[in-house]
Amino acid sequence: MSNEGVIEQSTAGLMQLVAAGEELIGYIYPHTPLELFMAHGLIPSLIRTLPQVPSGFEASLQTFACSYIRNLYSQRTSNQMPPLTGILFPSNTCDSLQNLGDIWRVRFPEDRVFRLTYPVTRNIIDDSTQRYLAEELRLLSESLTTIFERPFLKESYNRGISLVREFREGAKFLYSARVVNPKIISYSDVAQLVRVFLTTPTAAAASAITEAANSVKKMVTDLGIFENVESVMTALVNRDFENVQLPENLDAPRVVVAGGMIEPQALGTLIKDIPDIPESVITLDLLSFGFKSVFTPPLDESEDPFMEMAKSLLAAPGEPTQEGLKHRMIFLKDLLTNLSIHGLLICEQSFCDPDQFEAPSIERAASEVGIKTTRIPIDPELSDKARIEVRIQSFLETLTER
Amino acid sequence: MNGDRPSEEKPYRRLETQTLLQQIAFTGGLEALEASENGNLAWVTSGFPVEIPIAMNVGVVYPEQAGAIIGAQKIGPEVCSYAEDLGYSQELCSYARASIGSTEKPDEVPMGALPTPQILLACNNICGTVLRWYDAIAEMTGATVFLLDTPPIEAEQLPHHQEYVRKGVQRLIQFLEDKFSKPLQDERLAEVADLSSKAIGLWTRSLEACQKKPSPLNCADRFLTMAPVVSSRGTEQCVDFYETLLAEVDDRVSEGLGAVRDEKIRLLWDNIPMWYTLRFFNLLASRGVVFPADTYTHAWSGSIEGVDTSSIIDGIVEIYSNVYLNKGLDAKVDKMCQLIKDYDLDGFIMFSVRSCKRYSLGQMVSKELVTERTGVPGVIIEGDMVDSRVYNEAQIETRVDALLEMLM
Amino acid sequence: MGTDLGIGIDVGSTTTKAVLIDSSGAILAKSLMQTGASAVQAVDKVLGEISSMSGINLENIPAVSTGYGRARVELPHRTVTEITCHSVGVHRLNPDIRLLIDVGGQDAKVIRIGPSGRPDDFELNDKCSAGTGRFLEVMARVLEVSIDELGLLALKSTSPSSISSTCTVFAESEVIGRIGAGDSPADIAAGLHASMTSKIVALSKRVSFAEPVCVTGGVALNPAFRHYLSKQLGTELWIPDIPQLTGALGAAVIALQGLG
């Protein structure tokens, strides 16, 4: 299904939920505590960029605002957002999103705007970062209780935990299976399953992933590569590639996609549309709404909920907005070498500070391990589609050079 | 009258204290070089609690200031292009690009390439970009980055925020003690904090003197004289400088001398200036336009209260978290309205800096709010602080003229 | 696996080109025409022309298409990007070339050619028209000269104006400022060429510079562009006799070799 098709499908899903009396909280940053909203009986729904939206940002945002926030803003001015009860903005992630939250409050005073402030510090020995985020989560929980008169219910929280866990378990398996054999399920299909869950995190969306994972499990077992898949999954979860085992004679080229808040689904559609390029060249994405959302560690029901959620969010694969560039580059180099990767597509959201700052480091890291890279500036509207296609196809041509 | 007018008839008055700046910059440069050679030079961001490294005798330099110097020499585009050659986009912060570019090719930069750092001290109270910038410099130089994370504050600083930042400050002290194998001495910190407060107090009085009519200082005067308070507050030298500055300012006030000879219009300046063409302010001076206040130099005006290390740390936690850039659009609008009222200003110019998102995104909204609340008109002009390639002079002139026509 | 003949079709935004080569690489027929409103029709026409010129029925001859309209070709074929085709085409004409700079109306490309003739690395301009023929077109209009005159005018300059912007929009206002400041049109034109080539030089640094350098594309015909590019790169430039056909030639070579 095309990117547009999936958007239509998920919008329809959202409308059904609203018709059934559910209340949606929109969020825009990948590392959002889904279980917290579920604990309050609310449905967290990831607001996606739309490829076709009439531009409406000009009276409030300068042209150098990143293409992601321009798109979100334009969705709001053209009434193309889903029917939300509230919207959650992240704070202390990047300067553009930071200011967007402020601008939103002034321009749309009728919207219920929440904010969750994330600590940037990572890799420290004390637990001050976790305690800070836990308290932020508790305060958010308090205001959800007061504003919606919906208290935090342990039972709903536990249900949320198992729902999100089901999604992550299935998606992690699909991601890992594709690393071993990228043809086993198409990249777009996996991106679509993940996307549908993040937009409408329902039991149905989670079981769709479980079903897909079960059928892939059967296929990999029949092919005798189940253990390879397990070894990749363990490596990606622990970020330690020492025991990875890949089968011999892998198809070439194998490409990894690096980048931040680029839509995996949009990327899948883009590659699918390029003539003579099999989608299976994409072995793995490291995107925020893909890999990083999927490989966030699970929660333990028995521990303090706020501390647990904080720990999980802080242990998710790193973003360029956080401390730890060095660690991210070590992980990237390990991954590229141990997963037999030939090339790296570095996607960057147009005018995105964090993406554009990290890209040269990624280029250097990849070249240190002998991996070719190309940079793809991209915006949600794919306004430079023809050139992007040439970039990607040319890059793959340089990889097949024998 | 013949062509060459004597200097005292220029439309603006030159500040005598400015000559001291060159001396300070020269000594500062030598000290930084020495610190780098001795293995204890830190690069610090403008909003960093510099009192702590200074109290531990760590040499400090200030890359944002170096960016300004590179801009003022009009070599911004070249130096930035060295960073662009490495893959850093032209859309990124031009202070960062100038810094990365001059680190890559120091020999191509006559002034503004800083000595090699051993540590990089970043505080994200001014923007999130500083961490990524310093991470890039760390990759190039091998220096270690220490981030003091001060998450943005909504209305007031809550206890968990205080606790988190306090832990950060304690880790900073630990980091410096480990790195340079010497302890922070309580007495020395108290002394430095006191000197810092003194300098900030003197600086604030110079800023506030601009409420007088005519204003004793113009925008460019403050942009130049802010350097020591940003980079070396906590030193004797810094206090001396601001004593001299305040004396000159007070003299001007008592003699009724303005920074602009014939003051007619008083405007507020918002954002970092375009360092490559400070002439902009002088040209306006010839039309009687003065800028008694601006949001940039008023960004650093909180002084640390405290008598012992623990209370000084509390002061640092509070002051450095509460800079208005860390408090969102409302705080900035409040600040602008307050300045317009206190300094009796007729209008405002907002400089939309293409490569500075934290400071600039939101200006279109705050412009409306400020006018709504104060009744004074404003205009937005676009460009950049260092990268003159995106400065459209003709377009800017038209916009500023239109504003002045509304006020004349 | 080699065959006897190969067809290369290059469907660009302005012109469509086709080349038929034999197994020695010799060009049996070539055709070039405006793409116009319909890429499909332009492809039909160039193919018709090489067929009648060579007297050969094109059916069953392997074909490769390239250029922005590469997917618009109805003949059975494979598509390869112009990056690879230009690289292979130039390599066929001069195997020593290691860096190819192709500057057209909308595009600027820098390609590092590997020893086998395939690209090792490449860089393209982004959406912005800096460093492309479009930049010079806009500036020629501001200076009220034709695009052909602009290059000749620039060569007459004695002291080139300093134009710091490579962005078309900003440079345009800079030019207006220079005119206001009394700079001569020749000096401004020279400054513009220097600014435009500096953007190309910046692109070439991103792929790590290599020599010898070949320049293709319509802008390669502009003498001031060649002068400033050569000066800023500090190297001589090699220009093929048929600079517009290198993409189609490369496509034909790839078709012949059966590589993809």
Q: Residue A108 maps to which CATH number?
A: 3.40.50.11890
Chain A residue numbers touching B135 (CB-CB < 8 A)? 325-326, 357, 361
3-state secondary structure of A283: strand
Is there a contact between B85 and C164 if contact means CB atoms under 8 Å apart? no
Is there a contact between B87 and C202 if contact means CB atoms under 8 Å apart? no
Residue B7 lies in a domain: no
Number of separate domains in chain B: 1
Average pLDDT score over residue span B385-389: 95
Closest approach of chain A CAs to the CA of B135, in angstroms?
7
Chain B residue numbers touching A107 (CB-CB < 8 A)? 365
pLDDT band per the 50, 70, 90 thresholds, residue C260: very low
Residue B6 lies in a domain: no
The answer to whether residues C88 and C247 touch, using CB atoms and an 8 Å cutoff, is: no
Is there a contact between B389 and C173 if contact means CB atoms under 8 Å apart? no
Q: Chain A within 8 Å of B85 (Cβ-Cβ)? A: no
Closest approach of chain C CAs to the CA of B402, in angstroms?
19
Domain that holds residue A20: 3-152
Span C15-46, pLDDT tens digits: 899 999 999 889 999 999 998 888 889 999 99
Residue B309 lies in a domain: yes
* Closest C-alpha among A276, A125, C249, A392 to residue B170: A125
pLDDT band per the 50, 70, 90 thresholds, residue B230: confident
The ipTM value here is: 0.95
Chain C residue numbers touching B85 (CB-CB < 8 A)? 202, 205-206
Span B304-341, pLDDT tens digits: 878 899 999 999 999 999 998 999 899 999 999 999 99
Residue A30 lies in a domain: yes
Least confident of A37-51, B17-31, B57-71, C225-239: B17-31
Three-state SS letters, chain C: CCCCEEEEEEECCCEEEEEEEECCCCEEEEEEEECCCCHHHHHHHHHHHHHHHHCCCCCCCCEEEECCCHHHCCCCCEECCHHHHHHHHHHHHCCCCCEEEEECCCCEEEEEECCCCCEEEEEECCCCCCCCHHHHHHHHHHCCCCHHHHHHHHHCCCCCCCCCCCCHHHHHHHHHHHHHCCCCHHHHHHHHHHHHHHHHHHHHHHCCCCCCEEEECHHHHCHHHHHHHHHHHCCCEECCCCHHHHHHHHHHHHHHHCCC
Q: What pLDDT is stored for residue B301 in this prediction?
A: 64
> Residue B2: pLDDT above 60?
no
Closest approach of chain A CAs to the CA of C170, in angstroms?
15
Chain B residue numbers touching C202 (CB-CB < 8 A)? 81, 84-85
Residue in A275, A374, A394 closest to C84 by CB: A394
Buried b (16+ CB within 10 A) or exposed e, A188-213: bebbbbbbbbbbbbbeebbebbbebb
> Residue A101: pLDDT above 50?
yes
Is there a contact between B362 and A124 if contact means CB atoms under 8 Å apart? no
Give the CA dihedral B36, B40, B41, B47, nearest 10 degrees. 180
Q: Chain B within 8 Å of C170 (Cβ-Cβ)? A: yes
* Closest C-alpha among C203, C132, C145 to residue C171: C132
d(CA B137, CA A76): 38
Q: What pLDDT is stored for residue C63 in this prediction?
A: 93
Q: Chain B within 8 Å of C177 (Cβ-Cβ)? A: yes
> Residue C171: pLDDT above 90?
no
Is there a contact between A95 and B154 if contact means CB atoms under 8 Å apart? no
The alpha carbon dihedral of C163, C169, C175, C178 has a sign of negative
Q: Chain B within 8 Å of C176 (Cβ-Cβ)? A: yes
The answer to whether residues B227 and B18 touch, using CB atoms and an 8 Å cutoff, is: no
Q: Where are the domains of chain C?
A: 5-92+244-257, 96-239
Residue in A106, A119, A357 closest to B329 by CB: A106
Residue B300 lies in a domain: yes
**Chain C CA closest to residue B86:** C206
Q: Chain B within 8 Å of C166 (Cβ-Cβ)? A: yes
Q: What pLDDT is stored for residue B347 in this prediction?
A: 97
Chain A residue numbers touching C80 (CB-CB < 8 A)? 276, 393, 397
> Residue B399: pLDDT above 80?
yes
Average pLDDT score over residue span A115-139: 95
For B263, what's the count of Cα atoms within 13 Å in the CB-facing half-sphere?
A: 23
Query: Residue B95 carries which side chain, given as an amino acid letter?
Result: Y
Span B121-150, pLDDT tens digits: 999 999 999 999 999 999 999 999 999 999
Average pLDDT score over residue span A339-356: 95
Q: Which residues contact B2 (CB under 8 A, 6 or more apart)?
A: none
**Chain B CA closest to residue C163:** B389
Span C176-215, pLDDT tens digits: 889 988 999 999 999 999 999 999 998 998 888 899 999 9
- Interface-testing mutation among C125, C127, C172, C173, with chain B (most B C-beta atoms within 10 A): C173
Chain C residue numbers touching B84 (CB-CB < 8 A)? 202
Is there a contact between B390 and C167 if contact means CB atoms under 8 Å apart? yes
Span B50-101, pLDDT tens digits: 999 999 999 999 999 999 999 999 999 999 999 999 999 999 999 999 999 9
Residue B66 lies in a domain: yes
d(CA C244, CA C240): 9
Q: Do domains C5-92+244-257 and C96-239 have the same CATH topology?
A: yes
d(CA A42, CA C11): 53
Closest approach of chain B CAs to the CA of C180, in angstroms?
10
pLDDT band per the 50, 70, 90 thresholds, residue C259: low
Q: What pLDDT is stored for residue A236 in this prediction?
A: 97
3-state secondary structure of B239: helix
Span C57-113, pLDDT tens digits: 988 899 999 988 887 777 777 889 999 999 999 999 999 999 999 998 788 999 999
Report residue B243 as tokens.
């004593």
Residue A94 lies in a domain: yes
Chain C residue numbers touching B393 (CB-CB < 8 A)? 173, 177
Q: What pLDDT is stored for residue A152 in this prediction?
A: 98
Chain C residue numbers touching A388 (CB-CB < 8 A)? none
Span B351-383, pLDDT tens digits: 999 999 999 999 999 999 999 999 999 999 999
Closest approach of chain A CAs to the CA of B128, in angstroms?
6
Residue B3 lies in a domain: no
**Chain B CA closest to residue A348:** B89
Closest approach of chain C CAs to the CA of A78, in angstroms?
26
> Residue C2: pLDDT above 50?
no
pLDDT band per the 50, 70, 90 thresholds, residue B1: very low
Cβ under 8 Å to A: C residues 23-82: 68, 70-71, 78-82
Q: Chain C within 8 Å of B117 (Cβ-Cβ)? A: no
**Chain C CA closest to residue A363:** C206
Is there a contact between C167 and B81 if contact means CB atoms under 8 Å apart? no
Is there a contact between C81 and A393 if contact means CB atoms under 8 Å apart? yes
Average pLDDT score over residue span A162-183: 98
3-state secondary structure of B204: helix
pLDDT band per the 50, 70, 90 thresholds, residue B116: very high
Q: What pLDDT is stored for residue A282 in this prediction?
A: 96
The answer to whether residues B117 and B43 touch, using CB atoms and an 8 Å cutoff, is: yes
Closest approach of chain B CAs to the CA of C111, in angstroms?
16
pLDDT band per the 50, 70, 90 thresholds, residue C143: very high
The two beta strands, C108-113 and C119-124, are: antiparallel
**Chain C CA closest to residue A383:** C127
Cβ under 8 Å to A: B residues 167-226: 167-168, 171
Chain A residue numbers touching B362 (CB-CB < 8 A)? 99, 102-103
Q: Chain A within 8 Å of C126 (Cβ-Cβ)? A: yes
Percentage of chain A exceeding pLDDT 70: 100
Residue B117 lies in a domain: yes
Is there a contact between B139 and A96 if contact means CB atoms under 8 Å apart? no
Residue in B81, B391, B392 closest to C202 by CB: B81
**Chain B CA closest to residue C165:** B389
Domain that holds residue B394: 13-407
Q: Give partners of B (≥3 CB pairs < 8 A).
A: A, C
What's the topology of domain C96-239? Answer: Nucleotidyltransferase; domain 5 (3.30.420)
DSSP A97-133: HHHHHHHHHHH-TTS-EEEEEPP---S-SSSHHHHHH
Chain A residue numbers touching B351 (CB-CB < 8 A)? none
What's the topology of domain C5-92+244-257? Answer: Nucleotidyltransferase; domain 5 (3.30.420)
CA B187 to chain centre: 29
Cβ under 8 Å to B: C residues 146-165: 164-165
Residue B131 lies in a domain: yes
d(CA A181, CA A338): 15
Query: Residue A395 carries which side chain, given as an amino acid letter?
Result: F
- Rg (C-alpha) for chain C, rounded Å, is 19
